[in-house]
Amino acid sequence: MKRRIGVGALFMLALTWMVPATATADVVVHDPWIREAPPMVQTLAAYMTLENKGKQAVKLVKAASPAFAKVEVHQTIHKNNMAMMEQVHGLEIKPGEKVLLKPGGYHLMLIAPLSTQRLMAGQRTPVYLSFSDGSEKTIQAEVRRGVMMGGGMDHSQHGMQKMRQQMQHQMHQMHQKQNNMPGMGMGSGDATQTPRGPSQNSMRGFAYPSNETPPPYRYR
């Protein structure tokens, strides 16, 4: 009787170790890497290929890294001719198929680096992946200098793009204010307006006679 209990216990212990090992081996991660970003950028992007070698569909439900405050799964989508980011809650990997995390598509958004030292090309950063079947993987993602593929965008460029958009908006507002100031416009009804020069007046349909000297320029 004691012998049977001992064999049963050993069998259950073996199953306990075998199930996680089988689940972990179902998803294989190929070529994980992180795009090198300019200094002071607070969001980076990681890419890889996830291959499901099992017989059941599985989802990537969570990601983390000791180098970042938060890691999220994102997808690049296009609305109104603009590329936008959308968070994905559970990235499904069907049995026997691969899901590519690449620029312009799915990717891991790495938020708020915890170190003041910039990640440089050639370095490696650990990333933890958790799947819906309870399995987990720890991968080492290499930092690389990447070239944008397929016209997509990623979070390593998002901060710089947002800054450029803000600057363009401010310049547009300044231009509108200048046009609305008295004496700054080029309206035909402004009788007190001093012409800026023959070339500009000619472009607006005004021309001085050949025997008449145009008025001097006014520098502002």
For the chain, 220 residues long, give each residue's pLDDT as a single digit of tens.
444 545 455 444 444 444 444 444 589 999 999 999 988 899 999 999 999 999 999 999 999 999 999 999 999 988 888 888 899 999 999 999 999 999 999 999 999 999 988 999 999 999 999 999 999 999 999 999 875 444 444 454 554 454 455 556 566 677 677 676 665 554 444 444 444 544 444 444 444 444 555 555 444 4
pLDDT at 183: 57
pLDDT at 168: 62
Instruction: Give the C-alpha separation, 37 to 84, whole Å.
Output: 19
Residue 42 DSSP SS3: coil
Sort residue 111 into left (φ over 0), alpha (ψ -120 to 50) or beta.
Answer: beta
Q: Whole-model pTM above 0.75?
A: no
Distance CA 43, CA 37 (A): 8
Q: Give pLDDT, residue 20.
A: 44
Q: What class has domain 25-160? A: mainly beta
Is 130 exposed, middle or buried, given 0-12, 13-18 or 19+ CB atoms closer than 10 A? middle
Sign of CA dihedral 94, 99, 105, 107: positive
What are the structural domain ranges in the chain? 25-160
